[in-house]
Structure 1
Amino acid sequence: MGSLLFFLSVVLSCYLVSGQPSSEFVYPNFTATNFRFIDSAGSFLFSRNGSFKAAISNPGAQQTNFYLCIIHVASNTITWSANRDAPISNSGKMSLTSSGINITDQDGNFKWSTPPLRSSVSALILTETGNLVLLDQSNGSLWESFHYPTDTIVISQHLVVGTSLSSALSNDDLSTGNYSLAITASDAILQWQGLTYWKLSMDTKAYSNSNYAVEYMAINQTGLYLVGRDGSVVVIQVNLSPSDFRIAKLDHIGQFVVSSFSGSDWTQDYVGPVDECQIGNICGKVGLCGYSAGSDDPSCTCPPEFSANSQNTSGCSPSEVSYTLPVACNSSRNNSDSNSSPVSYLKLDYGMAYFANDFTSPVKYGINLSVCQELCSGDCSCLGIFFENSSGSCYVLENVLGSIKSSSTTDSVLLGFIKTLVGSSPTNIGGSDFNSKTVEFPTIALVLLPFTGFILLVALGFFLWRKSRVSRVGEVKSGRGTSPSSGDLDAFSIPGLPIRFDYEELETATDNFKTHIGSGGFGAVYKGILPDKTLVAVKKITNVGVQGKKDFCTEIAVIGNIHHVNLVKLRGFCAQGRQRLLVYEYMNRGSLDRTLFGSGPVLEWQERIEIALGTARGLAYLHSGCDQKIIHCDVKPENILLQDHFQAKISDFGLSKLLTPEQSSLFTTMRGTRGYLAPEWLTSSAISEKTDVYSFGMVLLEIVSGRKNCSLPTQSHSIGDDSSGGGHSSASSGLGLIYFPLFALEMHEQGKYLELADPRLGGRVTGEEVEKLVRIALCCVHEEPAMRPNMVTVVGMLEGEIPLGQPRMEALNFLRFYGRRFTEASMIEENHGQDNVILYPQANASLANGRSSWHTSFSYISSQEVSGPR
């Protein structure tokens, strides 16, 4: 009996040690360890033709960390790993059960598993493309490794919008590193610790078509592509030499590399960024990256007043032992937890740049260096600043510090300062000694700033005088006796013009403009009835410069030819003498603001969804469905009109083209409405369709809450009420304005979405439904236009055809600044006791060294004036 047991134990041990790999399929109740399949280097499953294998493998020469991997056989390259952040030993076990894949260590402790599945597993297959797939009894896919990429994608794999690649720590350690490649609706971007340092669209080898939204990234035998419109449109492409097998990988140093394999060699087809010094942490914290003469490889040194870390960590630290680099607090822009030690700043030389500055906006414009340093000194999340003398732009380095790069293009533009904590001998506190650690704010600026302000005041006064003069000269009390014959349009013919009305016809239709139904930046709107009993809305344009008839009619022909179910139809026009009138279809439920913010019946949640979707479809058509792209420039509830069954239609589209060049330049910050203006309006940046996307996001937040984004607590239902005596949101003050977008951001961070829903809905909406609209809205209001989705993508997300985007906190931090400004504005309003007055930032259109500046001065403007020309 003893000999029999010994024989069985020997047979069993031999079986365990020499397990045989399977071809293509394995089935539930299968287990694998590296030790069991040691003869095949841990491989237990091969694709049909042997191109890929699945193995419990240890990359490199190390013998401690083993992973469930997919490996390209010919090149022995890992293309995917399961338990990258939970390695096991060679005795750790992978088990396939009817519930999925489970990985445990040698003691049976859980390490990794596939997510819950909709039905039982019947088989595990490794496809010839390198995709590990769990199948149900009908051979349907339950789970695929392609849907959970790590640091690599292969041919036939799609990296969809909202997903990303994450670098490994090293070639031997597959743990998730700090670099990521994210796919957005418009680009592929590389980030370190959430800070962008490269975009595919910026590469000279990339060819772009920005008219469509990106849906996924893919590689094939001939190139790298960002693809949209269900795979039918290439948005960005990089052409590559033909190859039967290639991979795209985010390597551990932070470069995105596309490589092809042929024979026994890898060939690097594409790399981004080419300049390794652009990579966020290439030389460690405050390490200086540069190139020596004649060398293509970067070298790492330390800036003046810094030396290599004495610890076994990369990067540099202050040479002066009494100085130390601070550690950022956890909450961004948290002033209450500032470091208690005295603060000093170590100056970087000119020609030293920070990788993230090209992809972020200054936190302040038009200030001096002392103010910029004070902002950082009082903020525990701030670790350094870069300052631009000419425009007074202040860039803040928050939460993490990466590498510094040498850059000849930044000579005399940006000057950097690294924040330090002072020990026993504090000097240069607050940046007072600019000769040794900082630089003085130039004396010439103190002379030029008042002079520039005087010139701007003179220009504004001239404009107002000219406007009043034109208004007086252009007044016409009626169309009779003062306007030329209607035949004055017969001298030219413009294809596509809608019906032309005489002024007298419209005067009669509106009963001498008796019933006023609305007003806006371009003038008042009156209800009218045409002779055929059709109801119309007649807009009497008064707030633009009088254009020549041909120019006016050319623009009206463009607007009149636009037809979409979610756009208000232009039925006709009048251009007689100096009169300019537009005739629209009548919308019997009025504008969205009256329904949403009024005291009538509350809009139900599904009605709000339909309004949001209709508005999004209308904007998507204006941006990408018309022969000529049209940017609305003033998307707000007042310009969203409702018909029966709450069908939404956008009005006033295309009217911004009626502004004269003089008005366009002088009213840059006034085209649009307070609360809906995108940041690029205020910085003289280029205006694009993404400006409308921002405004739509703000409208979407109002649709969710049923209240204005910035309003007094007494004007609508309260926000963040805490009857239990809890804390108050930083989005509001107890006395003044409430800035709802910041409150929405805070509730998103906490996952408390129901706090944002209109309380009048009385629980008739779920947190998941609110989350959907809030996430879409926050993606729309990203500070950088390129990070916002286009309206086609927004429609897809609202319809559920495209996965929801993930709002990026680094692109939404500006809302905290806006929230503080609105709070300050409300307090000043309280102190001045003025009715209906707000504080509003004024734009300065001056340019310096290619950068726009926005001086954070404030002036009083009545809320009726803010809408301005649209």
Structure 2
Amino acid sequence: MANSLFTLLVLLSATYFVAAQRRTSNSISQGSSLTPTGNSSWLSPSGLFAFGFYPQGNNTYRVGIFIAGLRLNKTVVWTANRDDPPVSSGVTLQLTPDGRLILQSQDSTTDAVIVDQSISSASMLDSGNFVLFGSNQEKIWQSFDHPTDAILPGQILSQNQELFSRASDSDYSTGIFRLKMQSDSNLVQYPVQTPDTAPYAYWSSSTNNQGVNVTLNLDPDGHLYLLNNSVSILKNLSDGLSEKQRVYLMRIDSDGILRLYSFNLGRKDNISSIVWKSSGDKCSPKGLCGLNGYCTLNDDEPKCLCPPGFDNVNPGNYTAGCKRNYTADICKNSEQRIQYSMRALEYTWWENDPYLVLKMKIKEDCETSCLEDCNCEAAFYKDGECRKQRLPLRYGRRLLTDSNVAYIKVASPTRQIETPSHSRPGKKKEPRLSILIISLTLCALAFTVFVISGYLAYRNRIWAYKKISAKGNFELMDDIAPRSFTYAELEEVTNGFQEEIGRGASGTIYKGKFNDKLVAVKRLENMLAEGEKEFQNEMKVIGRTHHRNLVRLLGYCHDGPKKLLVYEYMVNGSLADILFDPQNPPRWEERIRIVLDIARGILYLHEECETQIIHCDIKPQNILIDEYRSAKISDFGLAKLLKADQTNTYTGIRGTRGYVAPEWHRNMAVTVKADVYSFGIMLLEIICCRRSVNLSLSEEEAVLEEWVYQCFEDNDLAKLIIDEETDRKKFERMVRVGLWCILDEPSLRPSMKKVLLMLEGTVDIPAPPSLSSYLTAI
């Protein structure tokens, strides 16, 4: 009974659509024409849809169907001859007297739509369907039967029909992804030019062999579903909505994700919203980064990278993939041979297409085996198997939960190995005596240059110190706001540097009093080496930063080798002083406020101040607490400034053991994500009121981040809570944020802006990667 009722409703719906299309059509007769710059489109009766020219590029156009009822843009739903070049403004679209729909220019004539019969008229319907009629007013062609990358309400994707993505958001030619309604009743997404088999699929409806003649359908209310031959719904992809003044559109986008869009015609901005999408993982479409490239997520956005030894084919088009940045001579014998080495990429995989699979217990054996095999250009090791492959590599992806290790063969820095001269016929040995004389002469010359350079450098350094001592105070005043002090003044302010209140990596801090105001005076040490550099950094950084969660610099002394900084005094000491006090730990709400204060301060350094700054030494000892119990970030002696167009830097290891991000130890480019890692460690310390490493505890609990991971995986966070007032929901949110911040891969860590949003509860926080993948990473 239910099936019969549903069948009746579907038939009535179909009858309604046919009737509606007949009632709401404008007839386009033979002889009608359009031009890109004149009458450019034929509208549907309500003006919602149009068939005609739309712009693509600079003064070039395409022909297609678009939603004309949107005020701010033309959302294209169908394109004619999409892989032909765009046409110029001098072309004409005409329904000719002999019944052809053509694009005509001075040089050529092209059919916009090819049909077997003569076209007597055409109509742009309010459903978005463009229809051509024959001499007896019978329908001989309609756009709904020939979809490109989208379907509209009332349109179906039939068995064996496909949608193909665009090349990009602004290029409507055929892209690199496709959606197919297969004859086995499964709706599947693939890369283009691949077989319809499971290894190439990256999303499916999982409805294979569950019906006959299954179609994909979209209703006017946004209901997206699969319908089988028995006129019953096989699977709902999205439920219908009762909202009015909306038009829906399902499209496979250029990034390979299938999305259902809703446009509110009643809004002035006509901004679309996404009702449903096939995947929330933007790296899931296979082939997004082209041949040899691989995809990684950065704040949920896809980023295409090239493996070691490769560069982008086209830096402006990441889908073009990567190519070697050297000329390989694999398996060639020559006098000048390239020396190769192997570079490892953890958690990274490409399509499994090996020419040889070996069983190996140790992954280093896989690396060695590929290096010694001239046919091997990459090797993948996982679960005791070594899979050797040749280029190109396809469908690359980095995923922290995948234990695969990829080994890429690259040219070593010493590119050429010369064949020894004695092995070459016709070459005479050079006299050894001549070589010895030349070598001794060069050594003597080098020694002389070294002595002279050393003397000049010494004399220049002495002169520089005298110049700084005489003029430094006046020159620095032009660039920064803090006051200039003499060394004698600061010696008096601190009463001869008697009361030491702290000691850090870059100097000692003393308590002082100036004009009845308490100050903290930091005397930098190691003046001739790091002290000079640290002093200049701290002057530049703190002198230009102004934020309620940063310690204020009041003054400085630059008296030759004597360099000191004067800060506002923090009466409550450092965060370490109050956090690790077992007798009187800060209350839960105070700990949350401190966390938010620190996050806002780091966000200011990363994104809001004039010069982007990586602090490089975020830890509880460098977080000071003022009289109002607000947290302020201090000690910029190790800070790294980035230029306006710079996002990363290479520099020596900075910071404090236990808070230093893994990339510091791997000679990788360091970004602001290094501070995110340090913040994550400190966040776990703050909410748990304990140090990150405490060897007095059991082995299981000694390392805080591992202990937190274990408790999170076991769904037993109660073990970490130290007092009853702790808000358990907020505590879990803080744990999730901390675990995301300390991920081994920098690109997977959130930005400080997103960290703050997650801490404040503005955005949802997905579960961080599992403990097993984290332990694999470390």
Q: Verify the 8 A CA contact 1:698 1:781 in the aligned structure 2.
A: yes
Q: How does 1:324-403 map to 2 (within 5 A)?
A: 349-351=372-374, 381-384=383-386
Q: Verify the 8 A CA contact 1:124 1:132 in the aligned structure 2.
A: no
- Report deviation, 1:760: 1.9
In 2, Cα distance between equivalents of 1:164 and 1:102:
23
| 1:286-334 CA distance string (max 9 Å, x none) | xxx99999xxxxxxxxxxxxxxxxxxx964455xxxx7689x9xxxx9x
SS in 2 for 1:676: coil
Q: How does 1:12-23 map to 2 (within 5 A)?
A: 20=17
Is 1:580 the equivalent of 2:542?
no
Is 1:765 the equivalent of 2:727?
yes
Task: Assess, with a 3 A threshold, how the Cα gap between structure 1 residues 11 and 791 changes in structure 2: closer, same or farther.
Answer: closer
Q: Give 2:169's aligned residue.
A: none
- Report deviation, 1:633: 1.7
Q: Give 1:64's aligned residue.
A: 184
SS in 1 for 2:501: strand
In 1, Cα distance between equivalents of 2:6 and 2:763:
56
SS in 1 for 2:683: helix
- Report deviation, 1:636: 0.5
Q: Verify the 8 A CA contact 1:631 1:654 in the aligned structure 2.
A: no
One-letter amino acid of the structure 2 residue matched with residue 185 of structure 1: D
Task: Assess, with a 3 A threshold, how the Cα gap between structure 1 residues 181 and 606 changes in structure 2: closer, same or farther.
Answer: farther
Q: Give 1:795's aligned residue.
A: 756
Q: Verify the 8 A CA contact 1:52 1:129 in the aligned structure 2.
A: no
Q: Verify the 8 A CA contact 1:549 1:575 in the aligned structure 2.
A: no
Q: How does 1:150-169 map to 2 (within 5 A)?
A: 150=278, 163-167=281-285
Task: Assess, with a 3 A threshold, how the Cα gap between structure 1 residues 550 and 592 changes in structure 2: closer, same or farther.
Answer: closer
Q: Give 1:700's aligned residue.
A: 683
One-letter amino acid of the structure 2 residue matched with residue 63 of structure 1: S
Q: Verify the 8 A CA contact 1:317 1:325 in the aligned structure 2.
A: no
SS in 2 for 1:700: helix
| Matching residue within 568, 577, 596 for 2:579 | 596
Q: Give 1:506's aligned residue.
A: 490
- Report deviation, 1:566: 1.5
- Report deviation, 1:567: 1.0
One-letter amino acid of the structure 1 residue matched with residue 211 of structure 2: S
Give the TM-score taking structure 1 as reference length. Answer: 0.47
Q: Verify the 8 A CA contact 2:623 2:632 in the aligned structure 1.
A: yes
SS in 2 for 1:646: coil
Task: Assess, with a 3 A threshold, how the Cα gap between structure 1 residues 560 and 600 changes in structure 2: closer, same or farther.
Answer: farther
In 2, Cα distance between equivalents of 1:587 and 1:185:
35
Q: Give 1:530's aligned residue.
A: 514
Is 1:203 the equivalent of 2:312?
yes
Q: How does 1:570-649 map to 2 (within 5 A)?
A: 570-576=553-559, 578-649=561-632
Q: Give 2:206's aligned residue.
A: 85
Q: How does 1:301-316 map to 2 (within 5 A)?
A: 315-316=354-355
In 1, Cα distance between equivalents of 2:764 and 2:593:
19
- Report deviation, 1:696: 1.6
One-letter amino acid of the structure 2 residue matched with residue 569 of structure 1: R
SS in 2 for 1:164: coil
In 1, Cα distance between equivalents of 2:685 and 2:284:
36
Is 1:733 the equivalent of 2:696?
no
In 2, Cα distance between equivalents of 1:558 and 1:346:
50
Identity %: 28
In 1, Cα distance between equivalents of 2:235 and 2:331:
46
Q: Give 2:83's aligned residue.
A: none
Task: Assess, with a 3 A threshold, how the Cα gap between structure 1 residues 399 and 83 changes in structure 2: closer, same or farther.
Answer: closer
- Report deviation, 1:651: 0.2
Higher relative contact order (CA 8 A, sep 6+): 1
| Matching residue within 735, 738, 746 for 1:774 | 735
SS in 1 for 2:277: coil
Q: How does 1:122-271 map to 2 (within 5 A)?
A: 125-127=247-249, 132=260, 146=274, 148-150=276-278, 163-167=281-285, 183-185=297-299, 188-189=302-303, 203=312, 205-206=314-315, 238=316, 271=319
Q: Verify the 8 A CA contact 1:587 1:641 in the aligned structure 2.
A: yes
SS in 2 for 1:580: strand
Task: Assess, with a 3 A threshold, how the Cα gap between structure 1 residues 747 and 551 changes in structure 2: closer, same or farther.
Answer: closer
Consecutive unaligned residues in structure 2, runs of 5 or more: 22-47, 50-139, 162-180, 190-200, 253-258, 333-351, 389-399, 416-465, 642-650
* Segment of structure 1 superposing worse, 578-587 or 106-115: 106-115
Paired residues, number:
522
RMSD over equivalenced CA pairs, Å: 6.0
SS in 2 for 1:693: helix
SS in 2 for 1:409: strand
| 1:669-697 CA distance string (max 9 Å, x none) | 4x311110112222333333332222122
Task: Assess, with a 3 A threshold, how the Cα gap between structure 1 residues 197 and 108 changes in structure 2: closer, same or farther.
Answer: farther
- Report deviation, 1:652: 0.6
| Matching residue within 728, 736, 742 for 2:706 | 742
Is 1:712 the equivalent of 2:707?
no
| Matching residue within 535, 556, 569 for 2:539 | 556
| 1:449-500 CA distance string (max 9 Å, x none) | xxxxxxxxxxxxxxxxxxxxxxxxxxxxxxxxxx999977567554134212
Q: Verify the 8 A CA contact 1:197 1:355 in the aligned structure 2.
A: no
Q: Verify the 8 A CA contact 2:354 2:387 in the aligned structure 1.
A: no
In 2, Cα distance between equivalents of 1:202 and 1:344:
22
In 2, Cα distance between equivalents of 1:521 and 1:9:
76
| 1:174-229 CA distance string (max 9 Å, x none) | xxxxx995542396336xxxxx8779x963644xxxxxxxxxxxxxxxxxxxxxxx
Q: How does 1:669-684 map to 2 (within 5 A)?
A: 669=653, 671-684=654-667
Give the TM-score taking structure 2 as reference length. Answer: 0.52
SS in 1 for 2:545: coil
Q: How does 1:834-845 map to 2 (within 5 A)?
A: none
Task: Assess, with a 3 A threshold, how the Cα gap between structure 1 residues 676 and 19 changes in structure 2: closer, same or farther.
Answer: same
- Report deviation, 1:140: 13
- Report deviation, 1:584: 0.6
One-letter amino acid of the structure 2 residue matched with residue 744 of structure 1: V
Is 1:55 the equivalent of 2:156?
yes
Q: How does 1:466-481 map to 2 (within 5 A)?
A: none
Q: Verify the 8 A CA contact 1:83 1:111 in the aligned structure 2.
A: no
Q: Give 1:517's aligned residue.
A: 501
Q: Verify the 8 A CA contact 1:639 1:652 in the aligned structure 2.
A: yes
Task: Assess, with a 3 A threshold, how the Cα gap between structure 1 residues 42 and 775 changes in structure 2: closer, same or farther.
Answer: farther
Q: Give 1:363's aligned residue.
A: none
Q: Verify the 8 A CA contact 2:619 2:679 in the aligned structure 1.
A: yes
Q: Verify the 8 A CA contact 1:41 1:57 in the aligned structure 2.
A: no
Task: Assess, with a 3 A threshold, how the Cα gap between structure 1 residues 523 and 779 changes in structure 2: closer, same or farther.
Answer: same
Q: Verify the 8 A CA contact 1:523 1:540 in the aligned structure 2.
A: yes
Task: Assess, with a 3 A threshold, how the Cα gap between structure 1 residues 568 and 815 changes in structure 2: closer, same or farther.
Answer: farther
In 2, Cα distance between equivalents of 1:791 and 1:709:
21
Q: Verify the 8 A CA contact 1:709 1:741 in the aligned structure 2.
A: yes
- Report deviation, 1:640: 1.1
One-letter amino acid of the structure 2 residue matched with residue 770 of structure 1: F
Q: Give 1:754's aligned residue.
A: 717
- Report deviation, 1:639: 0.5
Q: Give 1:542's aligned residue.
A: 525
In 1, Cα distance between equivalents of 2:6 and 2:663:
75
SS in 2 for 1:677: coil
